[in-house]
Amino acid sequence: MKRTAAEKKNTPVRKSTVVCVTSQLQCERIIRAGRSIANLTDTQLLVVNVSSTDFTSQDGEALEHLFRVSKENDAQMTVLYSNESLKTLTDFIKKSSAVNVVTGMPQQGASVLYKMWDKLGSVSFFTVDADGSFANMSRKRKAAKASVSEPAGN
């Protein structure tokens, strides 16, 4: 049965948990943590990778592995090609109606993750460490901003 445009408009948009992965085999821990968070928040699980246009065969092998892990965790995986990773990721997250975003740990102070956290203030961000444990960075970020904006003692 075909749905009319009016029926599609009245269909609620399903919220999602978006997992951001790189072209590395060890990113499977991030997908598994994302599955846990999606289950806890009753959201669909989406996995996204933004690759540059200079793709290697090693990247391809890792992505094939991550596609399998995504499928095992009932997630849809998308690979996007862009040299503007921040813009591409934030656009994907917004279009996906994401309420949660799961990533690995930021590696340096200029990480694209810090910029993404600032751009998407209404989204809950979780980071996953090397052993697969995850932490809600949104709460830590809000607490840090609150302490910076509070006036000094009277």
If pLDDT is split at 50, 70 and 90, which confidence band does 154 have? very low
Provide mean pLDDT across the span 35-46: 97
Q: Residue 100's pLDDT is what?
A: 97
Q: Residue 64's pLDDT is what?
A: 93
Q: What digits encode the pLDDT tens for the residues 95-119?
A: 999 999 999 988 776 788 888 988 8
Domains and CATH numbers, the chain: 13-149 (3.40.50.620)
Alpha-carbon gap, residue 8 to 86, rounded angstroms? 30
Sequence-ordered list of residues with C-beta below 8 angstroms from that of 66, at least 6 positions apart, any chain: 21, 23, 25, 27, 28, 31, 47, 49, 77
122 has a pLDDT exceeding 80: yes
| Other C-beta atoms lying within 10 Å of the C-beta of residue 69 | 21
Q: Residue 41's pLDDT is what?
A: 96
